[in-house]
Structure 1
Amino acid sequence: MSIEGKAKEAAGFVKEEMNEHGDTAEAKKKAQEGRDLRNEGRVEDGKAPKTTEPGTGAKE
């Protein structure tokens, strides 16, 4: 696992969590950016991107 991949995954997680419950278009856009960043970090570390619905607590 790379440090950069772990950092991207963590930053994306935080960005998604901060914005996923917002009702505005801007909040939804930022939450999607967070998901994209998290998945980019996961792919860099050789993991599969998360494809489940956000906030469901579903296992990978």
Structure 2
Amino acid sequence: MSIEGKAKEAAGFVKEELNEHGNSLEAKQKAQEGRDLRNEGRIGDGKDPKLTEPGTGHDEK
């Protein structure tokens, strides 16, 4: 795992968590940006992107 990939995944996770429960369009967009950043970091480290709904506890596959 690269440090850059870990940093992107962590930053994306934080951004998503901070905004996923907001009802405004801006909050939803920021949450999606966080998901995209998190998945970009995962792909950069050779992992599959997370495609399940956040907070569901589903496996990553």
Question: What TM-score does the superposition give when structure 2 sets the normalisation length?
Answer: 0.95
> 1:18 maps to which residue?
18
- Letter matched to residue 27 of structure 1: A
Structure 1 vs Structure 2 CA RMSD? 0.5
Counterpart residue number, 1:48: 48
Q: What secondary structure, in the 3-state scheme, does the structure 2 residue paired with 1:13 have? A: helix
Structure 2's unaligned 5+ residue stretches are: none
Q: Secondary structure at the match of 1:7?
A: helix
| Structure 1: runs of 5 or more not aligned | none
Secondary structure, aligned partner of 1:55: coil
The equivalent of 2:7 in structure 1 is 7
Which of structure 1's runs of 4+ aligned residues deviate more than 6 A? none
